A and B are shown apart, each in its own frame.
Chain A
Amino acid sequence: MDHKKLVTVINIMIVLATILAVAAIVLPIYTILQDMPGLSFGEPSYNYSSTSGYFTLPVTVSSRGPLPLSDITLRGYLTCVNNTPLLATSVGPMEVPVGSTTTVNVNVTFDFSHLSDEMVQNLATANQNLSLVATFRFSTSPLSSYELDATGEYNWGAPISNLRFGDPMISDIGPLAYNVSVPIYFQNNSTFFHVLGTADVRLVDLNGSVVSEGNVDVDCPPSSNFHGDMIFSFNLTQAQASYYFFNDAILNYSALLQLTTFGLGIHNLTEPISVMWSALAKDLAVDYPSAQYFNTTHSQVSIGFTFKDNSPYIRLDGYMSGFLLDSGSNVVGILQNQNMTVYPGTTYQGTMMGYIRNDALGQPSYTVKLLFHTDLGEFEEEVNASA
């Protein structure tokens, strides 16, 4: 071929190639601009089991441009120590031909079932950074491809952070029984976990025997604090009740908590708790009886007494009665009923009146047997009254 004709042909090819080049850059841009309005998201749905969850988001992609969308792929992982995956999503690769519409479900899976108990406990209670890896890519075939790779660390907020018990308090008391209220606190530092479940709690004494059981409903939304009260009921024997009526005590227990919540399985906490018991008639003391002639067989007697209601919140209502005993524990006198109302934290002083046999007068000491008749039951205590 004549080289001038060849040059002409090349010139034409250069023009065509230039037009092709312009088209090659315009087509992918035009395709993306046309396809973007065709991207829409459906209603997300959730599916939970005890140790896993599925979040599904329907995504609709319409290919309205001149080029098909192909190799649409999404991969994402959130991993904890040892690269153990906690969250995963995987879509595609898929293709959307020109002029068609495709709906794909983007599934994000949380799965804790394959984690060891230690790892679950650690995730439940310790804030930490988790590794995040995500890739999204697509092509406007055959001209261009696009890929986004994200790596980083996700700030995992522990859903049950700083779990602790508050100071136990006796919340209610009745005959031979009392209730103890134990506050429970924790912080939900997670941004998406709703801690919802029931915490079962058992109290065991120092011998390991279960003395009381209780539970508390837990409902703690993300990024909030939880405060609940667990109520434990205790039954007492008459001997125990009598002892606690007149004596302070520290009641030591171990609290065993099991909190079951979605995705985190069972969370255990064991913590010692001590209940401070305050006596209702502490430091009971009586004066030596003072007698006054009444008749040929008996004298009238008066005895001063004092005690302290050491409880910070229980009022003592009822009456007292009593007997005077000699050194041989024989009843030699009787004390009449004495009404009483003792306010919490106050010391009560009074005088009981009664009668003593004349033949028992003048002994160096007596035993005064005092009976407390109260709403909480009847309690008795013997106190020595010396001259």
Chain B
Amino acid sequence: MPKLLDLEISTASLAIRVILGLICAGIIFFIFYYLPVNLKAILDFVLSTVVPGSSSIPPGVTSDVLGVVVSPILPFSGLVLTVVTFLEIVMRGTRIYGPILIVSGSFWLVVLYIVFEGGNIVFALDQSLFSGLSEILPSFALRISIGLIPIMLIFMLPSMLTVTKGVVLVLGRRGQK
């Protein structure tokens, strides 16, 4: 029976862990790396095929909105999260599982903070979106603020608990020694 960092595990179980880890890591990679990097192209494709006349949307608008929704550091965070998620599943029950949970939970906290823009998402839409109104509104800007601090904190709860779980596992393993 193979040993994975002091944890005796069957080959089948290891294989299942790796496959499960790859699937979950793949999902995380897709959501937190692929989508943010390609969101503009995806949106343009969806708009052009689903919404008739969407070609009249000014070119800068989707970029303006996406620039707010997708933080520039989100793709990098997504890559790190992919690796951590894979390790979290494969290394479950090993002696480094606790530290991995601490790292994973902490990273999730960071990613959630980035995704929620600190709990206050702000879109600043400028004149280009309102070109049709330029005759009566020569200059016009719209700022949309969405306050999501309570939701962000609730979303952070599982990650905080994950960190706590990691700490408990580390302390428990030390206690066993």
The answer to whether A binds B is yes
Given contacts A10-B168, A24-B155, A155-B135, contact A144 B141 (CB under 8 A): no
Check if B52 is an interface residue, CB within 8 A of chain A.
Answer: no
Q: Are B154 and A191 in contact (CB under 8 A)?
A: no
Check if A149 is an interface residue, CB within 8 A of chain B.
Answer: yes
Given contacts A11-B165, A17-B158, contact A149 B138 (CB under 8 A): no
Q: Are B136 and A155 in contact (CB under 8 A)?
A: yes
Chain A residues near B157: list those with CB within 8 A: 17, 20-21
Determine the distance from Cα of A340 to Cα of B140 in the docked complex, in whole angstroms: 73
Q: Are A145 and B146 in contact (CB under 8 A)?
A: yes
Q: Pick the contact of B137 from A142, A144, A149, A154 — CB < 8 Å?
A: A154
Chain A residues near B141: list those with CB within 8 A: 150-152
Chain A residues near B148: list those with CB within 8 A: 143-144
Q: Pick the contact of B144 from A3, A142, A147, A154 — CB < 8 Å?
A: A147
Q: Mark B103-145, 1 if CB is under 8 A from A, else 0.
A: 0000000000000000000000000000000011111111111
Check if A7 is an interface residue, CB within 8 A of chain B.
Answer: yes
B interface, how many residues as a size bin? 20 to 34
Chain A: how many interface residues by the 8 Å CB criterion? 33
Check if B161 is an interface residue, CB within 8 A of chain A.
Answer: yes
Chain B residues near A4: list those with CB within 8 A: 172
Chain B residues near A150: list those with CB within 8 A: 140-143
- Interface residues of A, dominant DSSP: mixed
Q: Are A144 and B147 in contact (CB under 8 A)?
A: yes
Q: Are B137 and A7 in contact (CB under 8 A)?
A: no
Q: Are A18 and B158 in contact (CB under 8 A)?
A: yes
Chain B residues near A148: list those with CB within 8 A: 142-145
Chain A residues near B155: list those with CB within 8 A: 21, 24-25
Which residue of chain B has its CB nearest to the CB of A1?
B168
Chain B residues near A81: list those with CB within 8 A: none
Check if B89 is an interface residue, CB within 8 A of chain A.
Answer: no
Determine the distance from Cα of A4 to Cα of B142 in the docked complex, in whole angstroms: 53
Determine the distance from Cα of A152 to Cα of B137 in the docked complex, in whole angstroms: 7
Q: Are B161 and A14 in contact (CB under 8 A)?
A: yes
Q: Are B147 and A149 in contact (CB under 8 A)?
A: no
In A291-339, the 8 Å CB interface with B consists of none
Which residue of chain B has its CB nearest to the CB of A141?
B150
Check if A153 is an interface residue, CB within 8 A of chain B.
Answer: yes
Q: Pick the contact of B143 from A3, A145, A149, A155 — CB < 8 Å?
A: A149
Chain A residues near B162: list those with CB within 8 A: 14
Which residue of chain A has its CB nearest to the CB of B153?
A24
Check if A28 is an interface residue, CB within 8 A of chain B.
Answer: yes
In A1-48, the 8 Å CB interface with B consists of 3-4, 6-7, 10-11, 13-14, 17-18, 20-21, 24-25, 28
Q: Are A145 and B147 in contact (CB under 8 A)?
A: yes
Chain A contact residues, CB within 8 Å of chain B: 3-4, 6-7, 10-11, 13-14, 17-18, 20-21, 24-25, 28, 129, 132, 139, 142-155, 191
Chain B contact residues, CB within 8 Å of chain A: 135-148, 150-151, 154-155, 157-158, 161-162, 164-165, 168-169, 171-172, 175
29 contacts between A and B (CB under 8 A): A3-B169, A3-B171, A7-B169, A10-B161, A10-B168, A14-B165, A17-B161, A18-B158, A21-B151, A21-B158, A28-B151, A132-B137, A142-B150, A143-B148, A146-B145, A146-B146, A147-B145, A147-B146, A147-B147, A149-B144, A150-B141, A150-B142, A151-B140, A151-B143, A152-B137, A152-B139, A153-B138, A154-B136, A191-B136
